[in-house]
Amino acid sequence: MTSFLPQPRQLRPLEGFAKWSSPIRISAPAEFSDVIEVFEEQLRDTIGWSVVRTSEEPDVVVRSADVPDEGYCFTIGDVTTIEVSSAAGLFYALGTLRQLFPSEAFGATSNIRELTLPRMEVIDSPSYSWRGVHLDVARHFFTREEVCRLIDLLAMHRLNHLHLHLNDDQGWRVEIPTWPLLTEIGSKRRSSPLGHNQDGVDDNVAHEGFFTREDLVAIREYASERFVRIVPEIDLPGHAQAVLAAYPELGNGTGPYEVWTRWGISEQVLNVSPQALAFAEEVVTYVADIFPGSPVHIGGDECPSAEWAASEAARELMRENGFSEPLELQGLFTKKLAHSLQSRGHEVIAWDEVLDAEVPPGTIIAAWRSSKKGTEAALRGLDVVMAPMQLLYLDWLSSDAPGEPVAQTYPPYVTTWEKVYSFNPIPRDLPSHLAHHIRGAQVQLWSEYISSVEHLDYMAFPRTSAFSEVIWGTGTTKEVFRPRLVDHLERLRARGVNFRPLDPEL
């Protein structure tokens, strides 16, 4: 009868059916007007229906009630009643109701004059507050319009965080007015690997692109209307070769530098001078100020320390700080950036490598190397966003079948939708009294081998669909889930999503 995805926490069928037609008449408190406007826009752009705000003979009545944040209750009857405590809850309630529409109602304008909805009662709320997707726009750039398209797909799955990886060795993707060469030079790469990086073959095709402040504000506002929070990331002091191509004085004298044309981990990192630390602070806080109130990711992963070990200036700084290993110098960046961001009202998130040094209190750890890193962070009293590569890296192959497009991994390292659906956000070895430190999880879309929207779709779906139910907290078994996924993919097909088809059942 119903193919909700994610499935609600509770559903009780009732006798009979209700009829909806255009215009849908909604009675709701004024504070929910923006949500209703987005709902009307969705219906207008698909089935051509309108929505009218009225208290006279409404089809839908929205009431404020004591329900969990982002949660909702609705009862479909002659009049459909929705109870929520937040605008996000109403957005999700309307999205769930919309999944009762036929799949073609998710595509271009359809000629649907009337809808028959089964009467039911639904009570729903999420288990985790962080339900996210990470998108790498540094290796391959995706435009403002393409990012907003992805935001729509996240919102359709009740996902609420989009983590944007805005810089790397292969490109700097955000305009900083006081550092113009970051985009004049650092946003342009002369070539990219063709096929696997290990093959050593280049395409000799230039790649470039960056966001202006106006772009990022537009993305932020579009996401906010759909209850998706943008989490910007500036990844320093490693992954800095594009920075050094623009400003070589921030390096350790190992140039000449260029925006890197290979994938992998560059040995060229920022130096540890006061100038480099001040640069990192300035660009990170500039980007952070575009997203007031959002968590800000400061990277911190894969920072080789060989250049620091060879630098007399770095060794002197080690002695001043009582450090025994060059890697500990990374903690200077972590502390400085964390202090500046927290003083501006931002939470700070970093990849789990920062656990190798002293971590400022309040830092959220993105546990990517394994679930054990999540346990380690929680044991140290830190909150965690789970992102283990073995289960949630969607740049990995979707299967070991011949014909899969080139991906980060080779067989047998694959991540099927079934594997994603098996994910448990709470690590097995985490003591139960520390489970509150797990805020949620996010899937990762690194873009070394993803250069188009069509390929992004293929790698993201249906695996992100499977993830959305797990992180909402209502996952069951893959056998129970699959029929609903089959139906849901028809909605994505109507939306023009180039998802990877499901393999035949064995």
Site of tokens 């594009």: 242
- Of 4-13, 120-129, 354-363, 466-475, least confident by mean pLDDT is 354-363
Distance CA 34, CA 39 (A): 9
Site of tokens 């790397």: 168
Answer yes or no: do 304 and 443 share one domain.
Answer: yes
Each residue of 41-98: pLDDT tens digit? 999 999 999 999 999 999 999 999 999 999 999 999 999 999 999 999 999 999 999 9
b/e code 152-161 from CB counts within 10 Å (16+ = b)? ebbbbbbbbb
- 271 part of a folded domain: no
For residue 110, is pLDDT > 80? no
Answer yes or no: do 332 and 308 share one domain.
Answer: yes
Alpha-carbon distance values, 48 to 22, 42, 70, 300 (Å): 8, 9, 28, 48
The pLDDT assigned to 357 comes to 82
Answer yes or no: do 472 and 444 share one domain.
Answer: yes
DSSP letter at 174 equals B
- Helices (H), ranges, 247-329: 274-290, 306-309, 312-321
Answer yes or no: do 388 and 431 share one domain.
Answer: yes
Alpha-carbon distance values, 137 to 142, 144, 262 (Å): 6, 11, 16
Inter-residue contact 71 to 126 (CB < 8 Å)? yes
- 189 part of a folded domain: no
- 65 part of a folded domain: yes
- 249 part of a folded domain: no
Inter-residue contact 215 to 145 (CB < 8 Å)? no
Where in the sequence is the domain holding 84, given as residue range(s)?
Answer: 10-124
Give the domain-ending residue among 124, 151, 177. Answer: 124
DSSP letter at 414 equals B
Answer yes or no: do 366 and 479 share one domain.
Answer: yes
Which pLDDT band holds residue 380 (cuts at 50, 70, 90)?
A: very high
For residue 2, is pLDDT > 90? no
Each residue of 197-228: pLDDT tens digit? 999 999 999 999 999 999 999 999 999 999 99
- 195 part of a folded domain: no
Inter-residue contact 223 to 229 (CB < 8 Å)? yes
- 462 part of a folded domain: yes
Task: Provide the CATH number for the domain around residue 115.
Answer: 3.30.379.10
Each residue of 296-353: pLDDT tens digit? 999 999 999 999 999 999 999 999 999 999 999 999 999 999 999 999 999 999 999 9
- Helices (H), ranges, 291-346: 306-309, 312-321, 330-343
Which pLDDT band holds residue 505 (cuts at 50, 70, 90)?
A: confident
Give the domain-ending residue among 95, 124, 153. Answer: 124
Distance CA 258, CA 225 (A): 39
CA 362, 166, 270 angle in degrees (round to 5)? 75
Answer yes or no: do 141 and 56 share one domain.
Answer: no
Answer yes or no: do 341 and 460 share one domain.
Answer: yes
Answer yes or no: do 395 and 320 share one domain.
Answer: yes
Task: Provide the CATH number for the domain around residue 479.
Answer: 3.20.20.80
Q: Is the dihedral of CA 29, 32, 33, 39 positive or negative?
A: negative
Distance CA 172, CA 174 (A): 6
Inter-residue contact 416 to 501 (CB < 8 Å)? no
Longest dimension (CA), the chain: 79
Distance CA 192, CA 426 (A): 38
Give the domain-ending residue among 124, 151, 181. Answer: 124
What is the domain count for the chain? Answer: 2
Which pLDDT band holds residue 160 (cuts at 50, 70, 90)?
A: very high
* Close Cβ partners of 322 (under 8 Å, ≥ 6 residues apart): none
Pairing of β 348-351 and β 171-172: unpaired
* Close Cβ partners of 241 (under 8 Å, ≥ 6 residues apart): 169, 170, 257, 258, 259, 260, 266, 268
Mean pLDDT of the chain: 96
Answer yes or no: do 333 and 448 share one domain.
Answer: yes
The residue count of the chain comes to: 506
Inter-residue contact 193 to 139 (CB < 8 Å)? no
The residue among 416, 374, 412, 411 whose CA lies nearest residue 392 is 416
Q: Percent of the chain, pLDDT > 90?
A: 97
- 489 part of a folded domain: yes
Answer yes or no: do 153 and 39 share one domain.
Answer: no
Each residue of 400-437: pLDDT tens digit? 999 999 999 999 999 999 999 999 999 999 999 999 99
For residue 1, is pLDDT > 60? no
- 179 part of a folded domain: no
Alpha-carbon distance values, 203 to 93, 168, 190, 266, 313 (Å): 47, 19, 9, 20, 39
Distance CA 455, CA 183 (A): 26
Answer yes or no: do 445 and 315 share one domain.
Answer: yes
Alpha-carbon distance values, 69 to 192, 225, 383 (Å): 45, 16, 20
Q: Roughly how many angstroms between the first and final C-alpha of the chain, as a whole number? A: 25
Answer yes or no: do 18 and 40 share one domain.
Answer: yes
